[in-house]
Amino acid sequence: MAFDLHVSKRLGDAEIALRLEAGEGLTVLFGPSGAGKTSVLHMVAGLLRPDRGHIRVGGVELFGDGIDVPPERRRAGYVFQESRLFPHLSVAANLRYGAGRAAAIDDVVQLLDIAHLLDRWPRTLSGGEAKRVAIGRALLSDPAFLLLDEPTASLDRGRAAEVEGAIVDIRDRLRLPILMVTHDRLQAERLATTMVEIDPIRT
């Protein structure tokens, strides 16, 4: 089982509750805006603590039964919706931030076609470029799995297709389990191995 989540969390007036079991490949978490999809990714990454439940990824217990692995040891390759590149570091330094000494930076740079961006600064990148750098940074941190939050939102169609291509490559060539959030049903159907719908928040 790649992803085995059973979490609930009260956020203000809303209650997020999700049960999800998914195997290999790319699992899409699909649902309307504001359904708590991003919160679920935050819980898997360790940035948000569920009230109850368990989180297991690839058979490793990350949360539950008194276990709460800190985010830096979860090996989650998290690509945030807003990219979250470090503004005071160059693209190359952003890529190396989570990378070990032996990391195959060249391979990732080639896979994502970002070699020409290495000396640039995050604020000079377009949305699509920043997204590919963010994916590269996550891949280079030696992740056990990937979390993608609306990876093509705010991109025009051409750029979105590029990023989707990179995601397909990661799914089929690197064979990393991926949990992806989107509100785009067509995209979900194009990319998903498993599709899970999340209900609108109950209040």
Q: How many CB atoms lie within 10 A of CB 190?
A: 12
Name which of 118 and 195 has its Cβ closer to another protein.
Answer: 118
Q: Does 157 bind another protein (CB under 8 A)?
A: no
Q: Does 78 bind another protein (CB under 8 A)?
A: yes
Q: Does 86 bind another protein (CB under 8 A)?
A: yes
Tell me the number of residues near another protein by CB under 8 A: 29
Name which of 56 and 74 has its Cβ closer to another protein.
Answer: 74
**Chain residues 31-60 in contact with another protein, contact rule CB under 8 A:** 45-47
Judged by CB under 8 A, the residue of 101, 123, 173, 202 near another protein is: 123
Joined together, the tokens standing for residue 197 give 């719908």
For residues 171, 176, 180, 186, the Cα torsion angle rounded to the nearest 10 degrees is 10
- Residue 83: phi and psi, rounded to 5, are 65, -45
Tokens 């750098």 sit on residue: 133
Q: Does 71 bind another protein (CB under 8 A)?
A: yes
Bridge partners of 57? Answer: 3, 60
Interacting residues of 124 by C-beta distance below 8 A, sequence separation 6+: none
* Residues that bind another protein in the complex, under the rule CB under 8 A: 45-47, 70-78, 80, 82, 84, 86-90, 93, 97-98, 121, 123, 137-138, 141-142
